[in-house]
A and B are shown apart, each in its own frame.
Chain A
Amino acid sequence: MTTTSERTSPAERFQAIIDADEKIEPSDWMPEGYRKTLIRQIAQHAHSEVIGMQPEGNWITRAPTLERKAILIAKVQDEAGHGLYLYSAAETLGVTRDELVELLHTGAQKYSSIFNYPTLTWADIGAIGWLVDGAAITNQVMLTRTSYGPYARAMVRICKEESFHQRQGYEIMLRLCNGTPEQKAMAQDAVNRWWWPALMMFGPHDSESTHTNQSMEWKIKRISNDDLRQQFVDMTVPQAEYLGLTLPDPELRWNPERGHYDFGEIDWDEFWQVVKGHGPMNRDRLEHKIKAWEDGEWVRDAAAAYAEKQQARRAASRTGG
């Protein structure tokens, strides 16, 4: 009997799976570059979810109502959950959780720059849900079709929950925009500060994005940075109009020929500054993360010691000792 595996090399089988739009699974052979690219991307994604708890956690104690507080806690808990799904997906590629945590803490692996901006007012919680989670959904809906099975499955789960995040954010904005002039001004101020960083989330222009081509060939990424950014702008402009808010871009206008909104150029100097660690909150975010990890060490140790003791006790009772 001649089987497919006898006729073809592992590399050919890998390519055949990619070409057929099927998923690569953890035990399949994969090129080293594919594995490394995925570890880097999934780890960054996981780190982003975990660090992303901080700017929002900042407002839990000051949420305007008990209901808003409960909602915000649920959202922050979701972000922790998303981080866990993603760490699990990364671990299927042969890295350990502890290694990933350490790489975040030493700065060897990064997280999304969007979390290096501060949350100054309650309206920022609305703007983050609407714009930042909106941008994230645009990216993540694409990633539900990524070629690596565990990553795609994590994305499906995450996308279901992100929808709640975005809607609750938009509702906060809606409430503020229908409120007092001061409340509306606060909403406008938040949009002024979050609009451009949200657009930066999609990354450099396609022409500058050196690793995009390979990722597209491997079908890790299915849509380019600029195309995703355009999708996000087209989706968001009418939502801003409904709120009666102005997006802070004088060049933003509908282009009937393209069938898309034209928009101005991102401040790429700011973009690279924040990526390189010089954003307003880079240092605080990492310091806080490391402190939380170190403060929790006794809990982890106690849980491990307890588990060990229980196991020893069970073993002893089995042998009648």
Chain B
Amino acid sequence: MAYSVPHLDGEQDPQFGRSDARGWPMWEVFVRQRRGMSHVHAGSLHAPDAETALQHARDVYTRRVEGVSVWVVPSSAIVASDPDEADAFFEAIEKPYRAATYYEIPDEVGQM
């Protein structure tokens, strides 16, 4: 189901960011699709503790055998790079000699 409800006259934007909002902590869910593959981020959910988070992760993200293994990690434990600093942080673009295609190998040598 999907659809956005049309605006009504006088509709106001709700205020967000109330500090008294309580609730269960958030967890990030990683699912291994098949043996031999990495766990990949599937989404997030709320749960009071790790065991319940695992249970919820199964119910929310693997209802159709999408995986053979699930990890849950507290969202607060994720440390992320700053997207605004991405250019400086991921400097490899300045070092094309790190790429295989930088080197020219004569055709006669064949596939390398």
Tell me whether A275 and B8 are in contact (CB under 8 A): yes
Q: Does A39 contact B (CB under 8 A)?
A: yes
Q: Please tell me if the beta carbons of B63 and A211 are within 8 angstroms of each other in the complex.
A: no
Say yes or no: A136 contacts B26, CB within 8 Å: no
Q: How far is the CA of A157 from the CA of B66 in the complex (A)?
A: 11
A201 within 8 A of B: yes
In the assembly, what is the distance between CA of A27 and CA of B87, in Å? 15
Cβ–Cβ contact A275 & B26, under 8 A: no
Our pick among A45, A74, A96, A109 for the contact of B2 (Cβ within 8 Å) is A45
B14 contacts chain A at the CB level, 8 A cutoff: yes
B36 within 8 A of A: no
User: Is the Cβ of A81 less than 8 Å from the Cβ of B88?
Assistant: no
- Interface residues as binary, B9-52 with A (CB distance below 8 Å gives 1, 0 otherwise): 00001101110011110100000000000000001111011001
Whether A306 is near chain B, meaning CB under 8 Å from some CB there, is yes
> Judging by beta carbons under 8 Å apart, are B5 and A88 in contact?
no
A136 to chain B: closest residue by CB: B1
A201 to B1, CA, bound (A): 10
Q: Which of B26, B84, B86 has the most CB of A within 10 A?
A: B84
Given contacts A36-B13, A98-B22, contact A114 B1 (CB under 8 A): yes
Pair B6/A209 contact, Cβ less than 8 Å: yes
B27 to chain A, nearest CB (A): 10
Given the contacts A3-B88, A28-B83, A98-B21, A40 and B49 also touching, CB distance less than 8 Å: no
Output the residue of B5, B22, B60, B64 with the most chain A CB within 10 A: B5
Q: Are the CB atoms of B44 and A88 closer together than 8 Å?
A: yes
Which residues of the partner chain B approach A194 to less than 8 Å between Cβ atoms?
A: none
Chain B proximity mask over A1-43: 1 for CB below 8 Å, otherwise 0: 1011100001000000000000001011100000010011100
Closest B residue to A221 by CB, please name it: B4
Of the four ranges (under 10, 10 to 19, 20 to 34, 35 or more), the interface on chain B belongs to 35 or more
By beta carbon, the residue of chain B nearest A86 is B2
User: Given the complex of chains A and B, what is the CA–CA distance between A45 and B4 in angstroms?
Assistant: 7
Could you tell me how many residues of chain A have their Cβ less than 8 Å away from some Cβ of chain B? 71
Beta-carbon contact of B59 and A81 below 8 Å: yes
Main SS at interface, chain B? loop
A residues near B8, Cβ cutoff 8 Å: 275-276
Q: How far is the CA of A4 from the CA of B45 in the complex (A)?
A: 35
Q: B44: which A residues are within 8 A, CB to CB?
A: 88, 91
Q: In the docked arrangement, what's the CA distance between A133 and B2, Å?
A: 9
Closest residue to B16 on the A side, CB-wise? Answer: A95
Contact B1 A99 (CB under 8 A): no
B65 interfacial contact with A, CB 8 Å: no
Chain A residues within an 8 Å CB radius of B84: 5, 10, 29
Contact indicator B5/A275 (Cβ below 8 Å): yes
Given A99-B21, A103-B14, A303-B24, are A41 and B43 also a contact pair (CB < 8 Å)? no
Q: How far is the CB of B98 from chain A (nearest CB, A)?
A: 17
How far, in angstroms, from A158 to B44 measured CA to CA in the complex?
A: 15
Question: What are the residues of chain B within 8 A of A98 when measuring CB–CB?
Answer: 21-23
List, sorted by A's number, 16 A–B pairs whose CB atoms are closer than 8 Å: A3-B88, A5-B86, A5-B87, A27-B80, A48-B3, A52-B1, A84-B60, A88-B43, A96-B16, A98-B22, A98-B23, A103-B14, A133-B1, A136-B1, A209-B6, A310-B49
Given A82-B1, A99-B16, A210-B7: 10 more A-B contacts, CB < 8 Å: A1-B88, A3-B87, A4-B87, A5-B85, A25-B83, A85-B43, A85-B60, A95-B17, A139-B2, A306-B49
Chain A residues in the interface with B (C-beta under 8 A) = 1, 3-5, 10, 25, 27-29, 36, 39-41, 44-45, 48-49, 52, 74, 77-79, 81-82, 84-85, 88, 91, 94-99, 103, 108-114, 132-133, 135-136, 139-140, 143, 153-155, 157-158, 161, 201-204, 209-211, 275-276, 300, 303-304, 306-307, 310-311
